[in-house]
Copies of this chain bind each other. A is one copy, B any other.
Amino acid sequence: MARNTGTQTIGATAPATRRSVDEAVAWIDTHVARLGPEEIPASNAAGRVLAGDVAAVADFPPVDRAAIDGLAVRSDETVGASAYNPLAFRVAEAATDLLPGFAVRLNSGDRLPAGADTVIPFDYVQGGAAGHCEIIEPVAPGHEVERIGSHFKAGTTLLSAGRRLGPADIGVLALAGIGRVSVVRRPRIGLVLLGRGLSDPAQNAVPNADGPMLQTLVERDGGIVATERRVARAPDVVREVLAVPGLDGIFIVGGTGRGADDLAARGLADVGEVAIHEVALHPGGSAGLGRTAGGTCVFLLPGRPESCLWAYEVLAGRAIRRLAGRDPALPFRVQTMTTTRKIVSAIGTTEICPIRRLDDDHMEPVTAVARENLLSATQADGFVIVPEASEGVAAGARVAVYLFADRPTPDRPL
């Protein structure tokens, strides 16, 4: 098929610099770095990434304490105790020091009274009414005693920089009395939807699917959409939105193609640098990336929702995850599976092929036509990335599959 590459005067609005996905990813990895820290209450830090190591400020437990509910005694006073030789003790309450011949009733976590060196479980005790009991087992020193600092000592690194905080981490911070933590700032993203015919509702406009979808994607990856604007396609409008301060990234959605009103790349070129426009990626090939004169990274995302989705996943999302201090890789589990059908792909383009899982080890691609449709992405169980140099994958081949989620597991007991 003849291709007009020379005198293309209709359509193209900016010199396109089509690059491979690898080149686009390399640009992101070179130019987009983890944001600086901010201090927040530890109880609000779930899901956030630690900006520095967190060390214990004090020993935990802070005192020697009972590991169980029981009686604190001197271990040497229990020597010889048995069911045939019960030893009599008097019972005192937790706050008191231990006197000879006494046992002090403790709840799990109570401080061990002075003079005691062990805690005897109630299972080894008879009686207890009227302040008396009998012990029927000898107990070794230190039994069921949690020593001061046995969980962690002052100065111990509890959680390391770069860790994404989960529920048990939040518990550890509280246990250690750490009220505030320094975490990587959440990337603030400006979303600019380039509308078409905004003054004429009868005209097709950018599908408004992109706004809510990108908001969900950015939040999934640790960012926040700080501003969302829908603006008319005019060069000065693009320049204006690229000048909004206080943002860590800007997405211009729509206007990335070669149509007459595709102003995204031109607008960015006016006020900064278009590093790449057009990526050898399908869907999503009209995407671009660059930065403003101030150094804010800018992604040009196609307006078609399925193209927008994949340009985000492969390119813009990586930048968000890097800014947020997360693993930059796609946030999906990868599993090697057998494809039951051939996967067809064009050489020279990295192709995203949605797949359906057939069983734990087998999958099939959805049809090429269905790929061009956001609904098919929601009906897929995951996708395969066929690299630029590949024509596809033969039926029966083993291939790395990115899985959206694990299957529900009704058969799993827990």
Which A residues form the contact surface with B (CB < 8 A)?
1-4, 7-12, 21-22, 25, 42-43, 46, 65, 67-71, 82-83, 91, 95, 105-111, 122-129, 133, 136-137, 150-152, 158-159, 164, 166-175, 196, 203-204, 207-217, 219-220, 257-262, 303-305, 308-309, 314, 318, 327, 329-330, 333-334, 372-375, 377-378, 385, 404-406, 408-410, 412-414
A305 partner residues in chain B, CB cutoff 8 A: 171, 175
* Given A171-B374, A329-B408, 7 extra CB contacts under 8 A: A4-B124, A25-B414, A43-B212, A109-B303, A167-B213, A172-B374, A175-B209
In the complex, what residue of chain B is closest to A309 when comparing beta carbons?
B168
Known interface pairs A137-B1, A262-B69. Does A212 touch B171 (Cβ–Cβ under 8 Å)?
yes
**How many angstroms between the C-alpha atoms of A404 and B97 in the bound complex?**
44
Q: From the candidates B128, B208, B209, name the one contacting A172 in the complex (CB within 8 A).
A: B209
B171 near A213 with CB under 8 A, answer yes
In the complex, what residue of chain B is closest to A205 when comparing beta carbons?
B109
Q: From the candidates B8, B11, B327, B378, name the one contacting A409 in the complex (CB within 8 A).
A: B327
A260 partner residues in chain B, CB cutoff 8 A: 105, 107
B137 near A212 with CB under 8 A, answer no
A329 partner residues in chain B, CB cutoff 8 A: 408-410, 412, 414
**How many angstroms between the C-alpha atoms of A196 and B257 in the bound complex?**
66
Known interface pairs A69-B262, A151-B374. Does A204 touch B110 (Cβ–Cβ under 8 Å)?
yes
Q: From the candidates B4, B124, B303, name the one contacting A125 in the complex (CB within 8 A).
A: B4
A408 near B327 with CB under 8 A, answer yes
**How many angstroms between the C-alpha atoms of A108 and B307 in the bound complex?**
12
A375 partner residues in chain B, CB cutoff 8 A: 151-152, 158, 172
